[in-house]
Amino acid sequence: MTSLEEVARLAEVSTATASRALSGRGRLADATRLRVREAAAALGYVVSATASGLATGRTRSIGVLVPLLDRWFFANVLDGIATRLAPLGYDITLYNVTDDAGQRAHLFETSLRRGRVDAVIALSLDFSAAELAVLDGLGLPLVGLGTPSPRLSTLRVDDEAVARVATTHLIELGHRRIAHIGQSRSAADDLDIPTLRRRGFEGALQDAGIRPHGFVATDFTIEDGHRAARELLAGADRPTAIFAASDELAFGALFAARDAGLDVPGDVSIVGVDGHELSGFFGLTTVEQFPHAQGERAADAALAALGEAVDVPAPMLPFELVVRSSTSAPAGGAA
């Protein structure tokens, strides 16, 4: 097994310098750090996590709390986090946070207290006061991504602005009968993402002097989008446009329109949110919010809090309207 002394000898530095270069701690010239890492790679040297932890008090692992492991959005965010962490020698410790009270109690009272991570990133999770107290008590950097808690340092997209952009696009095409598929809690909830998207939808319509032409509350799945759109499109006074609060909801709406014998966008225009990897395949107009890049930014925030030499990301994340074939002017002009 290759030793640290052999790496130092090949890189022509002291053992202490080699250790600092491989741990990422301490100030070193970039050329020296690179030379040591190249020597380690050439010799097949891998830093012992146990030894490194004993010497530095660090585990070289970032804990990520995620609500749904099987959703496309979170998979892309996790890949972005891993992309940023791996080159600096950090691993991910993944914690699935479900709605089960017993599972959550064990996670917060036992798993997170084991000292296995240097920082925690929470993805789109709402926490109770007791859970927030546990997180605060860990004494670790905490980074939220789209979390609705004002007590966490959180990176977020302006979801109200996202919805306004999507809805304004439909208004500018000439639509007046515009419906929404999504969720909402309380009108006073300023951090809940689905609520903010509904608020942006309604705000854009109000500014244009238009009343909403329907709303169906639903979970964010293709199946629920299909069910909700079928409900909206069943009546004679159906909407000419639907703003779906996610691309997966919008996919369901596309299938529902097809099942009803309606043309998209001739009979109904549909717009979503996310920038799903299949949105281009379906010709879906969407508001791209770059989930992979969101993961990279969340990782940068955690790394910066740990003293790594990375740029500190701005708290607001970018988004962009991408217009495709699922939206057009309503047949016969404004409707």
What Cα–Cα distance (Å) separates residue 101 from each residue in 94, 97, 106, 286? Answer: 18, 10, 9, 35
Looking at residue 290, the DSSP 8-state letter turns out to be -
Domain that holds residue 20: 4-56
Task: Scan for tokens 């979390």, then name that residue.
Answer: 147
The count of C-alpha atoms lying within 13 angstroms of the C-alpha of 160, restricted to the half-sphere facing its C-beta, is 12
Could you tell me if residue 328 is inside a domain? no
Eight-state DSSP code of residue 238: -
- From CA 237, how far away is CA 131, in angstroms rounded? 47
Number of domains in the chain: 3
Q: Are residues 272 and 171 in the same domain?
A: yes
Over its length of 335 residues, how does the chain's per-residue pLDDT go in tens digits? 677 788 888 888 888 888 778 766 667 788 888 888 888 888 877 665 444 544 445 678 999 999 887 788 999 999 999 999 988 889 999 999 988 889 988 888 888 888 788 999 999 888 888 888 888 888 889 999 988 877 778 899 999 999 999 999 999 999 999 999 998 776 556 678 899 999 999 999 999 999 999 999 998 899 999 999 999 999 888 999 999 999 999 999 999 999 999 999 999 999 999 999 999 999 999 999 999 999 999 999 999 999 888 888 888 999 999 999 999 999 876 66
Token code pair at residue 249: 């909801």
Structural domain includes residue 76: yes
Do 297 and 259 fall within a single domain? no
Sequence-distant (≥ 6) Cβ neighbours of residue 186 within 8 angstroms = 195
Question: Do residues 239 and 215 make contact, with C-beta atoms less than 8 angstroms apart?
Answer: no
C-alpha–C-alpha distance, residues 8 and 196, integer Å? 54
Task: Please report whether residue 306 resides in a domain.
Answer: yes
- Give the pLDDT of residue 211: 96
CATH of residue 177's domain is 3.40.50.2300
163 occurs within a structural domain: yes
Residue 51 sits in a domain of what CATH number? 1.10.260.40
Identify which of 195, 206, 217 has the alpha carbon closest to the alpha carbon of residue 168: 206
In this structure, is residue 200 part of a structural domain?
yes
pTM for the predicted model, two decimal places: 0.79
Q: Which two tokens stand for residue 142?
A: 């905490």
Amino acid identity at 160: E
